[in-house]
């Protein structure tokens, strides 16, 4: 019962490098999300995909792009990493049902940009 | 846009005692959902409890209960008989009842320490 799987778990980048964070869920969920977590700021929404084929900006989208590859997969790309993007990144998913259904989270990716 | 405020960055409680974590939110909507998530050092996000705004009865899950005051826009979490395993960061979160996106808006978190 994998749930939401994120890769990699840890990553160190130099300023200006690019990378893609991968996320996959096996719960047949329609909606998927990318959050970043910074000390004292909680989790902030970067991008989300309400359903396959759609993506929308969240609260802090600058410097990121996303791709909803199919229903299972939702990737987050940093084209030119900056130290301000040092953070822990979480992918999450939610099913299409009642609105009280919780988000299911991956275990996070700790990204350091030097 | 909705905002969620957790005014206690850190709290501590003696093992077996009771502690209450505060959360307030700002919204113009009448229908919404509220959640508490727990994040232990493993970084995993674990749902603790949820509350539907249209329900007057406060939600309860074993040792965890909420005090939901809709008019005051307050949603506090009470942990009874605290255990060492309750030590974690706790996040309050809000979800609108409208739309299909279902994203959560989170507070900044409260770090709970349980003292033996």
B3-99 — its CATH code?
2.60.40.10
The helix/strand/coil state of B42 is coil
* Sequence-distant (≥ 6) Cβ neighbours of residue A59 within 8 angstroms: A44, A45, A46
Q: Would you call A61 an interface residue with chain B, using a CB distance cutoff of 8 Å?
A: no
- In the A/B pair of chains, how many CB contacts fall below 8 A? 60
DSSP A73: B
**How far off is chain B from A98, nearest CA to CA, in Å?**
9
d(CA A78, CA A24): 18
Instruction: Count other Cβ atoms within 10 Å, centred on residue A12.
Output: 11
Mean of all residue pLDDT scores within chain B: 94
More confident residue, A58 or B100: A58
Q: Mean pLDDT throughout B96-102?
A: 75
On chain B, the residues whose CB falls within 8 A of the CB of A35 are 106
More confident residue, B89 or A51: B89
Q: Mean pLDDT throughout A81-108?
A: 88
């Amino acid at each position: 019962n994998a749930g939401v799987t994120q890769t990699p778990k840890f990553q160190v980048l130099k300023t200006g490098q690019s990378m893609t964070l991968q996320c996959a869920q096996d719960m047949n969920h329609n909606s998927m999300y990318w959050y970043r977590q910074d000390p004292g700021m909680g989790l902030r929404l970067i991008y989300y995909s309400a359903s396959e084929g759609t993506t929308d900006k969240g609260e802090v989208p600058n410097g990121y792009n996303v791709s909803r590859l199919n229903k299972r997969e939702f990737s987050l790309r940093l084209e030119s990493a900056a130290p301000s993007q040092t953070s822990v990144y979480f992918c999450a998913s939610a099913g299409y049902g009642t609105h009280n259904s919780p988000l299911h989270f991956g275990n996070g990716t700790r990204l350091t940009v030097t | 846009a909705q905002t969620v405020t957790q005014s206690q960055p850190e709290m501590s409680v003696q093992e077996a005692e009771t502690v209450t974590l505060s959360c307030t939110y700002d919204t113009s909507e009448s229908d919404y959902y509220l959640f508490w998530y727990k994040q232990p050092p493993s970084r995993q996000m674990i749902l603790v409890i949820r509350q539907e705004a249209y329900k007057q009865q406060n939600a309860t899950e074993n040792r965890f209960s909420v005090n939901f005051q809709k008019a005051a826009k307050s949603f506090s979490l009470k942990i009874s008989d605290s255990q060492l395993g309750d030590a974690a960061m706790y996040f309050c979160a809000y979800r609108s009842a409208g739309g299909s996106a279902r994203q959560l808006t989170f507070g900044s978190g409260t770090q709970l320490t349980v003292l033996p």
